[in-house]
Amino acid sequence: ACGPKETAPAPAPEAKAFAAVDTARIETASAGAEWLTYGGTYDEQRHSSLDAVNKDNVDQLGVAWTFDLATNRGVEVTPVVVDGVMFVTSAWSVVYALDAKTGEMLWEHDPDVDRAVGVNACCDVVNRGVAVYDGKIYVGIIDGRLQALDAKTGDLVWETVTVDQSKPYTITGAPRVVNGKVLIGNGGAELGVRGYLSAYDAETGDRVWRFYTVPNPQKQPDGEVSDTAFEQIGNATWGDEGAWVTDGGGGTVWDSIVYDEVNDQIIFGVGNGSPWNRTFRDPSAGDNLFLSSIVAVDANTGEYKWHFQTTPGDNWDYTATQTIILADLPLGEGGAPRRVAMQAPKNGFFYVIDAATGEFISGDAFVPLNWATGLDENGRPIEVPEARYGKVPYNQLPGPLGAHNWHPMAFNPDLNLAYIPAQEIPQAYAEDPRFFTKEIKWNTGADFSAGVPTVATPEVAKFLRSTLKGRLIAWDPVAREPRWTVEHGNAWNGGVLSTAGGLVFQGKLNGDFVAYDAATGDKLWSRNVKSGAGAGPGTYMIDGEQYVTIATGWGSAFALSAGFAYDEKVPSTVGKIVTFKLGGTGEIPDADLPAIDRTPKAEPFGTEAQLAEGVVDYARNCAVCHGPLAVSSGVLPDLRWSAISANPDSWKGVVLEGHYSANGMVSFADYLSEDDVEAIRAYVLAQAHAAAAADDSGE
């Protein structure tokens, strides 16, 4: 096991040529011995040509080394490996350079993020990784900065602020670098921002172009490359009024960005609307381009080329930011190869579109869903009217966590199979009758308190958990059906790696890291990595040995907002890089975390009316971070066991006076009264006593 060392760092190999990566090298050398860009190659298939580890010997995989990422927050990084060095990120956008053979740390770079910005991060302070180019490492910082670091030393070369930091923007996604330009988007559409993709000069950090995904609030030109697209097609899909005008409209580019070298274009995925509920966002009920769309722009100028909107008039957080994979499929005339883009976005349909034109080729449901009955010949969803929820809740599949989230999908070009980390997480959506825009808070216009019981026993949590499902689907995009499916016991399983060894690797929510037969789905090997295993695995080769690696850690959107899904067997451990090789004999160290005293800290109190108010206020203000039903999965404090719940003044000090705002727990004084806050305390304590009573009865 390796942690930060006191000894001098080992010299990085080949000082002069180190990390001399350019577009040609990424095009030719990726996803073989090295892993040079987030998705393995520019096509982002996450398919490695390595086959030293294969079906016949995968059962001999053992731990080569581990590295401690020094965080108990979510970890989502896919390691980039170049010239024998692995570059990874941890929570709070900290970057590490490791010797990829031994795990020894070469350098660490901490951007010193003010922890108070944690409140802007809808889905944990995660980071999915770096880009490497011409001797530099590029990383997006959770507070909206973009940094270039010297690949050899970790020293800062340049940094630039990519967002208006007075707004709740974040960056969680990995930059990509193409022909000397660094591409980076941002997040924040749950709280209320206006999304865009920017290109920066890799050498200087100067901004080259910016493509907004939502019109300027006055529908006036921004002086950016997206202006023409809005004048010609975008503006007409938005009304002149509604919350979008002040809240930014959403459309964040928070994950997928791919370079299509054949058509010399950037294809990126656009997120949901701000607020989610279109009735509030845009009462004119337009399609709201380019929300929930796949958009292609010229790789050099950023000029609009085409778009395909997966969810017109998004109403549900149905982002189209999920993995975009480019491939040649036998879909041309007479089975000739046709270059396509594939995506399995949150909305539950698997899309195949023409990469050159954006033309819709096919789209099919890959999970059970009840918001649409299918797609028309242009790929437009045929909606179920009730799904445009009003005051009556509609229990919907998929919910806002999606039929597929950020967990990277992979594609095996020999078998023509896409491996989707799919899930079923339903959600009852209803219109929020009290909606108004709150500064630096969630602003969805949807109400999640509908139907929540005033006091829920652990049985309720268990029941809810049993409604969640996850599966690994080997989807055949030509036959438009699954070739095989593995059922997982729970939702929110990990990203996928495909290899020429005939293997598919995927981590599971319970920490099992599994290798399946790529052709059949048979399980060939598994090892528990003692933490969440959601990140995209990677592979590389050094000195004739193939390594398989995965970043682990407990956190992310699901751990924050779906606490009941935590089955208490999943340890909320410290994040690590865990790297395997054939014959490896290493161990994965246990985390040494203080035990939580799971007892209520005060007597229950509160009238029925007070508890009823507490349920609603909790569900609307607290649940997205501390978990529904006041059950946290351990990333942020479980309020039921909080010492602060013992005393009304300490409780008010945190919730109204912001005593913990430096940690990201800001004051809610603008939106909650003293009575509301005391009602929340009554509700939280009632939940604590219900859970403790169930424990006593031997549950």
User: Catalytic amino acids?
Assistant: 317
Cβ-based nearer residue to ligand PQQ, 404 or 527: 404
- Which residue lies nearer to Ca ion by CB, 34 or 317? 317
Cβ closer to ligand PQQ: 172 or 288? 172
Q: Which residues sit at the interface with ligand PQQ, rule CB under 6 A?
A: 76, 122-124, 126, 170, 172, 187-190, 252, 254, 271-272, 317, 319, 401, 405-406, 556-557
3-class SS shares of the chain: helix, strand, coil, % to 5: 20, 30, 55
Cβ closer to Ca ion: 282 or 317?
317
Binding site for Ca ion (CB under 5 A): 189, 272, 317
DSSP secondary structure letters along 361-421: EEEEESS--SSEEEE-TTS-EEE-GGGS--SS-EEESS-TT-SS-SSPPEEETTTTEEEEE
Q: Annotation-wise, does 587 bind a ligand?
A: no
Taking the complex as a whole, the smallest distance from the CB of residue 464 to Ca ion amounts, in Å, to: 21
122 is in an annotated binding site: no
Strand partners, 460: none
254 binds, among Ca ion, ligand PQQ, none (CB under 5 to 8 A by kind): ligand PQQ
Partner from ligand PQQ, Ca ion, none binding residue 557, C-beta < 5-8 Å depending on class: ligand PQQ
Q: What angle do CA 22, 45, 511 make, to 5 degrees?
A: 110
Selection from 421, 419, 427 nearest residue 405 by Cα = 421
Backbone angles phi, psi at 196, to 5 degrees: -165, 165
Contact partner, 600, from Ca ion, ligand PQQ, none, Cβ < 5-8 Å per class? none
Binder of residue 188, out of Ca ion, ligand PQQ, none (CB less than 5 to 8 A by kind): ligand PQQ
- Minimum distance between the CB of residue 140 and ligand PQQ, rounded to whole angstroms? 10
In whole angstroms, give the CA distance from residue 330 to residue 336. Answer: 5
- Shortest Cβ contact with ligand PQQ: which residue? 187
Classify residue 29 by its DSSP letter: H
Do the annotations mark residue 123 as ligand-binding?
Answer: no
Q: Quick one: 100 or 403, whose CB is closer to ligand PQQ?
A: 403
607 annotated as ligand-binding: no
Structure tokens at 680: 């929340």
**Secondary structure string (H, E, C) spanning 80-123:** EEECCEEEEECHHHCEEEEECCCCCEEEEECCCCCHHHHHHCCC
Q: Which two tokens stand for residue 264?
A: 């010399």
> Phi, psi (5° rounding) for residue 489?
-70, -15
Nearest to 676 by CA among 611, 603, 586, 584: 611
- In the list Ca ion, ligand PQQ, none, the entry touching 242 (Cβ below 5 to 8 angstroms by class) is none
Could you tell me how many residues make up the chain?
A: 699
Residue 622 labeled ligand binder: yes
405 binds, among Ca ion, ligand PQQ, none (CB under 5 to 8 A by kind): ligand PQQ
- Whether residue 406 is annotated as binding a ligand: the answer is yes
Judge whether 569 is annotated as a binding position: no
Residue 235 is labelled as binding a ligand: no
347 binds, among Ca ion, ligand PQQ, none (CB under 5 to 8 A by kind): none
Q: Between 142 and 473, whose beta carbon lies closer to ligand PQQ?
A: 142
Nearest CA among 158, 189, 133 for reference residue 21: 133
Of 89 and 170, which CB lies nearer to ligand PQQ in the complex structure? 170
438 is in an annotated binding site: no
- Provide, rounded to whole angstroms, the least separation between the CB of residue 251 and ligand PQQ: 9
Which among 694, 251, 261 has a CA at the least distance from the CA of 457?
Answer: 694
User: What CA–CA distance (Å, rounded) separates 566 from 637?
Assistant: 14
Cβ neighbours for 164, distance < 8 A, ≥ 6 positions apart: none
- Please, what is the minimum distance in Å from the beta carbon of residue 2 to Ca ion? 36
Residue nearest Ca ion by beta-carbon distance:
272
How far does Cα 250 stand from its chain's mean position?
Answer: 16
Q: How far is the CB of 91 from Ca ion (least distance, A)?
A: 19
CB of 173 to ligand PQQ, least distance (A): 7
Peptide bond into 558 cis (omega under 30): no
Q: Which amino acid is at 92?
A: W
CB of 426 to ligand PQQ, least distance (A): 15
Q: Which residues define the annotated binding site?
A: 76, 128, 172, 188-190, 252, 272, 317, 346, 405-406, 622, 625-626, 665
Q: Which residues define the annotated binding site for Ca(2+)?
A: 190, 272, 317
Q: Which residues define the annotated binding site for heme c?
A: 622, 625-626, 665
Q: Which residues define the annotated binding site for pyrroloquinoline quinone?
A: 76, 128, 172, 188-189, 252, 346, 405-406
